Structures are given as structure tokens and as C-alpha cells.
Structure 1
């Protein structure tokens, strides 16, 4: 795979702040939907005219700020996408399908990103690559989502109904053990738990909470876990390995029907974690 930036070049119209018609908005929306369905679009946005922007010019130790507008219209960027494609040829084919983003003649430029492999002759020790990998891992974790995961030992549905009635909770998803697309392992569930809640998600006060009945009965709330959803398998493996150090793995990372990669671990401080990738 290769990563490319696809840049919509500015025109006199875009620099004048001419807004697109409904027809163009619909056409571009449909094109973006195709990109998302194809799994190649990472991000994309339009940019305001350069009269709302600034440039910082570097000259030795001196820095000077220049306020737009900038006169080189054909060198300015009015919008962009970031795509992950198999080749430049694939990127070109997608750009050819794009509606003309401007009212006048326009250009879209495609530029590949550098990868660390391009700097192999400079980074002979691998030090810079390791630093880059660590930074990317940190950035990825900053975008991860963390949820409390509650276990109600057989009273989950009762608790949910109570929260809905009295504290304004909203149930977003509920799946019972009997709804599982895969057979439940023998002897995993206590008797009578077949219709208990295997997994649910509810929103309360703007926060999303995960919950389950667990696999057996109990007289009180049996505990909770922190459910950490990360973006990539590499992130999941690195985080899981770190949490496992001097801890106890309850369920090794593996593919499940609800996640491409999922595992459970109790860390060295006694905190229970669920580490997972989002469902595809």
C-alpha cells in the first residue's frame, strides 16, 4: 500500500470564496462515499480562501509572518484528501472519477508521502525509524477511545431499565448470549443465562458505557473493566504486551466475531482491561 495526498488546486473562483452548488455538493458527497466504501480514504477537507490564511517565511533565524491573500492562485491548495492506495495508477483512476470540483477548469494533483524506507541510506542505525514509530504509536493512542465496562452478574437488563427510567440513559445496542452468531463454548454460561445480556452499550450524560451480565450469577455488581479501542493491530499488540507485563492475561489477543482483534488482561496493579480493534 502507498499513502498519497490528493490536492485540489485553487482557482479564481475558490479564491473569491464562491460556494459550491447543491448539485456539486451532492456529487462530491457521492464520490466521497465511494472512496470510503472502497476503504482508501483516510481524511479529506476543503480549505478556505488564502485571504484567511498566513505564511511564515524562514530566513536563517528570522521568522516573518505574511497574511494572505497570496497571488499564485495556481499554486494554492483549495482542498485535499489523504488516500491509502495500492499504486499511483489506482490513485489516478480514482481522481479521473472525481466530479470537477470547480466551476471553471481545475487541476487535482497527486503526491505520494515519504515512508521511512525512503530514508534508509540516512537512517543506517534505524534510530530515526524507531523514533518515528514511537511517535506514531503515541499519536494513535491519543485518538483511542476508552469506555467503562460494567458487569452486573445477571441483573444487567434490570439495571438498564432502571437507568433509562430514572437517570435518562439511552440504550444504543443490546445483544444477548442467544444472539451470538457463534456457538457459546460449553460450560461457559451458568444455567439460565442463555437470554442474559452478553454485551450492551448505553449513553448517559454524554458518556458511553459498556455493560454485560457476565457469565454467572452473583449477588452484587461483580466489577468493571476499562475497554480500550485502538486503531491498528500494531497498537493493540504493543498496548496488550505492556499491560501484560507482570500482569495476568485472561484472554490472549485473537480475532472474534465482534472485533478483528480482542483480548483481556489484568495489569500488575489489578486493573482489568479489554483491548480491541473497532469492528469492520
Structure 2
């Protein structure tokens, strides 16, 4: 079950008084335990009500009132969202929590409604299906798609090439020999143990992942995909395009197009296709 764990406001939280370092450390340790146990989904502290507003609904009228608000005991200073087995499980976790305030304080636990709770008023399931669809859409809004490149044994060579040509920044590099679990017998060709099992590198603001794979052959062309590389000026685009084309193949010579002042397509020596371009309406010639 999912619950919201509400930290009720106190005089100190409403005055904007921050907790001391010892309490911050204790709360950080408690949060770490929640995360490691797979309980904590989210959580944050809230600024005093003096920095908030309330919107009053009365028929079609809406009125806005600036904080602070009276009745401190009715306000909240922070919250968690937890996934727990039962209300008892949530209570046990709260009992382990350090007192979040410098004075006596209260923490309230409230279970979330679940879609099944509305079965009586939604016998067809239409509303629940719509809500489930919205939740799925929300979750996909935070999804991230990143290119994963396979180099068939030339990954290290490719990394050095992109570092030189594109000033790529290489992060994690894990070789097959670094794996905590050995590869199944016959999975890797002889001599492939020191090849790159997984690496991450960035070009500009984009992160890419790459691997040598497990010895399988790699297509020599990028007919199924291309990476779009946007740079700020024509001289930079020309330099990058020329360097990427060394040992590769020019698919479309770089030059002016109706959609970009400077655009070209090249497949580099590793079979990776690049669309090099300068953004439209960019008159920089630096």
C-alpha cells in the first residue's frame, strides 16, 4: 500500500528556523534506510506557510490569500510518500524516525486511495482505465532514451577517436574481465576478455553508451539510425565533418540547405552515421 507520511508544522518550522546539523544528519541516515529498504518513493520539506498561498473555491469564484496562515497544528512542514506492506509497517517506520523538530511534534500517516477503492462508483471500469492510462503517460514523461552503440571489438579505438574529434568525455569503462560474474562458457571469443563490456561517454550535453558486444559482427553502415550533432558555427561544423569523414564515407556533402545554413551527413570509420548541422537562424561565423 502507498501512504503519505505528513510532518505536521510547529512554531519553529513556521518561523523558518532550520534544523541543526546533527538533526539533518540523523534525518539523512533515516532517509537512507528508507531508500535501501525500498520504502521511500519521494519526500521533501516545505517552506513556512508565510511563503505560500491559499486559493479559495466558492462556486465559480477563486480568491487567493497570501500566507502565513493561522492554526499551526493544521499545517504541514514536510512529507514522504512510502510504499509499505501495511499500516503497521508504516507505523513501525515512523517510530524509528528522529524527532523532525526541535520541540515536540507530530507525524501523520494517511493511506492513498487506490483505483480499486472506486469500483463501486465505476462498475464499468472506464474511469479506472482512464486514470491508469494517465499514470502510465506521466511515468513515460520521465523516461529517457539514450543511444547504445556496439563496435564489435573496436570500442576503445572509437572512444579515443571521439575524444580527439568531438572532445568526448569518457566516464565509466567496464571490461568483461571486470564483471563480478564470469561470462558463460563459449560466450566470448578468445582474447575478448579485456574488451569493453560497457562504457558511458558524453558528446556535448548528450550521454551515449557503448560496448564491444560479445564478439558478434557489427554492420558496417548506419542505415537504421544516425546521430544528429548540432554545433554553433559553420567552421566548427566543417572541422567536425571533415574529421568524422576520415576513413569513413560522406553520404551528403556539407553545405547550405533550406532547413539549415550548414548541414551534411557522414558515416565514420566505425559505421556510425552523423548528421552534422548548424541550427537555423544562427548567423554566428565565429
Calculate the TM-score normalised by the size of structure 2: 0.72
Secondary structure at the counterpart of residue 136 of structure 2? helix
The answer on whether the counterparts of 1:56 and 1:63 sit within 8 Å (CA) in structure 2 is: yes
Q: Which residue of structure 1 aligns with residue 8 of structure 2?
A: 9
Q: Which residue of structure 2 aligns with residue 66 of structure 1?
A: 65
Report the alpha carbon displacement of residue 173 of structure 1 after superposing the two structures with TM.
2.1
C-alpha spacing 1:30/1:191, structure 2 compared with 1 (3 Å): closer
Q: Which residue of structure 1 aligns with residue 86 of structure 2?
A: 87
Larger radius of gyration: 2
Equivalent residue runs for 1:246-261 within 5 Å = none
Report the alpha carbon displacement of residue 193 of structure 1 after superposing the two structures with TM.
3.6
Q: Which residue of structure 1 aligns with residue 106 of structure 2?
A: 107
Which 10-residue stretch deviates more, 91-100 or 216-225? Answer: 216-225
C-alpha spacing 1:64/1:219, structure 2 compared with 1 (3 Å): closer
Q: Which residue of structure 2 aligns with residue 250 of structure 1?
A: none
Deviations 1:72-112 (A, max 9, x none): 21000100000000011111111111111111111100000
* Partners of 1:185 and 1:139 in 2: CA distance: 42
Report the alpha carbon displacement of residue 166 of structure 1 after superposing the two structures with TM.
4.8
Equivalent residue runs for 1:206-225 within 5 Å = 206-214=205-213, 215-217=215-217, 220=220
Query: Is 1:183 aligned to residue 183 of structure 2?
Result: yes
Query: Is 1:97 aligned to residue 99 of structure 2?
Result: no
* Partners of 1:182 and 1:131 in 2: CA distance: 46
Report the alpha carbon displacement of residue 159 of structure 1 after superposing the two structures with TM.
1.2
* Partners of 1:77 and 1:135 in 2: CA distance: 28
Q: Which residue of structure 2 aligns with residue 28 of structure 1?
A: 27
* Partners of 2:219 and 2:45 in 1: CA distance: 55
Secondary structure at the counterpart of residue 136 of structure 1? helix
The answer on whether the counterparts of 2:51 and 2:68 sit within 8 Å (CA) in structure 1 is: yes
C-alpha spacing 1:91/1:212, structure 2 compared with 1 (3 Å): same
Equivalent residue runs for 1:223-234 within 5 Å = none
The answer on whether the counterparts of 1:148 and 1:225 sit within 8 Å (CA) in structure 2 is: no
* Partners of 2:185 and 2:124 in 1: CA distance: 48
Report the alpha carbon displacement of residue 205 of structure 1 after superposing the two structures with TM.
2.0
What is the total number of aligned residue pairs between the two structures?
224
* Partners of 1:219 and 1:129 in 2: CA distance: 46
The answer on whether the counterparts of 2:49 and 2:68 sit within 8 Å (CA) in structure 1 is: yes
Secondary structure at the counterpart of residue 51 of structure 1? helix
Deviations 1:100-155 (A, max 9, x none): 11111111000000001111101100111111111111111111111011122321
